Structure 1
Amino acid sequence: MSYRIKSGDTLSAIAKSHHTSVSALMKANPQIKNANKIYAGKSLNLPGARDSFEPGKAGGGKAGGAQAGGKPAGGGKPAGGTGGAGGATAPTGPASRGPKGSPFDIARSHLDKNAGSLKLEKSGVGADMEDWVPNNVNCANFVSACLEQAGQIKDSQHHNAVLGLQKNLDNDPNFKRVSINQAKPGDVVSLKTPGGHHVVMFAGMKNGKPQYIGSNNINKDGSQRISYSQMNYPIMSVHQYRG
């Protein structure tokens, strides 16, 4: 997302109104050398601070963000019964595939990695993630990178905001909106959350409910880790690759 600076704006006021921080805006806009000097008419990249999800109930338990006693990094399973690497998720039907592979398989290969570490890797998904994105809002950054690695989208279609990625997929003739009942592992699922939006990929069914894989806010410090999750948030769209 972007914002055009208006006369009288300050960076701190812009950060507050868009639920982010001055430091995050500075990282997203390296052309700004002095936080006290911004110019009307110029555009700012917004880091998409609302593209995350808050704790919610799912299937009688806690969703990914509401962990209790979960580990902040590395190994171990995400709290809330969401399953870690090798978790009890059974994909239903063949996974969605692009010219270079399945985005679901690509995502699954990074289970339990912290998004903040993954996006600094020099190859694969990490190389396609933009490292300026704050560590608590990498959901669209991660999904975009998985789709790129699978050859389903181009680099120019990568977006770090949920609604931006949704729009790019709507405009791509290789993607079609389907219902969750038609979803294949690797399909892109955009969700409406109490605090904004979240995007993940369908990972099959678990206990009769959709299971997702993505960059989720499950670390104690609020940062994201690649994990499975089940969430009862309203589904805005399910995009399936048909290329």
Structure 2
Amino acid sequence: MGYRIKSGDALSRIASVNKTTVSALMKANPQIKNANKILAGATLKVPGQSDGFEDAPIKKSGAGSTKSSDKSSTFDAPAAGSSSSGVKGPKGNPYEIANQHKGKNAGALKMEKKGVGADMDDGVGNKVNCANFVSACLEQAGMITDRQHSNLVSGLQNNLDKDKNFKRVSLQDAKKGDVVSMKTGPGAEDRHVVIFAGWKNGKPEFIGSNNRNKDGTQKITTGPANYPILSIHQYRG
């Protein structure tokens, strides 16, 4: 989902129409280096649009159902004896940090003046805080710097791929605190990012900023997910 830039558009007008800010638009679209220079025909990621993710979505049977070979339906619990303990950074574990804010609305959390809230970008819309929240938890754990913070899932993935302290792992090797990016739709930026929260009844659970409120805004919640996993980044610093 996004906004296709038209000839004559200005970033300030796009921000106003979509009830966001120029700074939030630029942070969500790192390819924009100058707010006064945007290219007609390009597509912008707009803060405030939904991540397209809800906890434990139910896939309908019958016409249009997902095939059993879909990655999202083939989660396997780790073998007996494998490690599922949390991974810690210099300042803590992202899962434990995230869990302290469980039940909070993302819009309220990002206005807090310390901790995770202070590291979240206030200008991001209340429906798309998933990467904003996960980035802040990683910052609080001492795993990434402020410069590595991204409000875009793909941006956070790229930053972690470039960081020598992170390594991609399989779901079976995941530990509490790992960063899990998922594909939620056909668009290039239809993605969601959460933090691995362990296994429950043989199924993986995740904590993150999810579209759980009736108005589509996000809340910090824990639960299973039913989307294909794009990547799992584990801290090895």
Normalising by the smaller structure, the TM-score range is 0.7 to 0.9
Equivalent in the alignment of 1:183: 174
1:174 to 162, 165, 169: 165
**Whole-Å Cα distance in 2 between the matches of residues 148 and 207 of structure 1?**
31
Structure 2 partner of 1:200: 194
- Paired residue type of 2:8: G
Q: 1:49 to 1:22 in 2, by over 3 A?
A: closer
Q: 1:28 aligned to 1, 8, 24, which one? A: 24
Alignment CA distance shift 1:56-1:108 (3 Å): closer
Tell me what 1:77 maps to: none
Residues of 2 paired with 1:110 and 1:7: CA distance? 43
Q: How far 1:7 sits from its partner (Å)?
A: 4.8
- Out of 87, 94, 98, the residue aligned to residue 103 of structure 1 is 94
Size of the aligned set, in residue pairs, is: 201
Structure 1 match to 2:205: 211
Superposed CA deviations along residues 9-67 of structure 1, whole A, max 9, x for unmatched, are 3559967xxxx95322556269xxxxxxx84458x984445661245865789xxxxxx
| Seq. identity, % | 57
Alignment equivalent of 2:227, drawn from 218, 230, 233: 233
Q: SS of the residue aligned with 1:101?
A: coil
The runs of 5 or more residues in structure 1 that have no matched partner are 31-37, 62-91
Residue in structure 2 matching 1:138, options 122, 129, 139: 129
Q: Distance in 2 between matches of 1:153 and 1:45?
A: 25
User: What secondary structure does 2:20 align onto?
Assistant: helix
Give the partner amino acid of 1:197.
R
**Superposition RMSD on alpha carbons, in Å?**
3.4
Any conservation in 2 of the 1:6–1:40 contact (CA below 8 Å)?
Answer: no
| Inter-CA distance 153–55: structure 2 relative to 1 (3 Å threshold) | closer
* Cα distance change, pair 29–138 in 1 and its aligned pair in 2 (3 A): closer
Structure 1, 142-151 or 47-56: larger mean CA deviation: 47-56
- TM norm structure 1: 0.72
Out of 93, 104, 125, which is 1:113 matched to?
104
Inter-CA distance 167–50: structure 2 relative to 1 (3 Å threshold): farther
User: 1:233/1:50 Cα in 2 relative to 1: closer, same or farther (>3 Å)?
Assistant: farther
2:116 aligned to which of 122, 125, 128: 125
Distance 1:183 1:228 in 2: 16
Deviations 1:202-235 (A, max 9, x none): 0011221110000000011110000002111000
What does residue 148 of structure 2 align with? 157
8 Å Cα contact 2:53/2:210 also seen in 1: no
Partner-residue secondary structure (3-state), 1:23: coil
Q: TM-score, normalized by length of structure 2?
A: 0.74
8 Å CA contact 1:202, 1:211 repeated in 2 = yes
1:50 & 1:222 partners in 2: Cα distance? 9
Query: Which blocks of at least 5 consecutive residues in structure 2 are unaligned?
Result: 27-34, 61-82
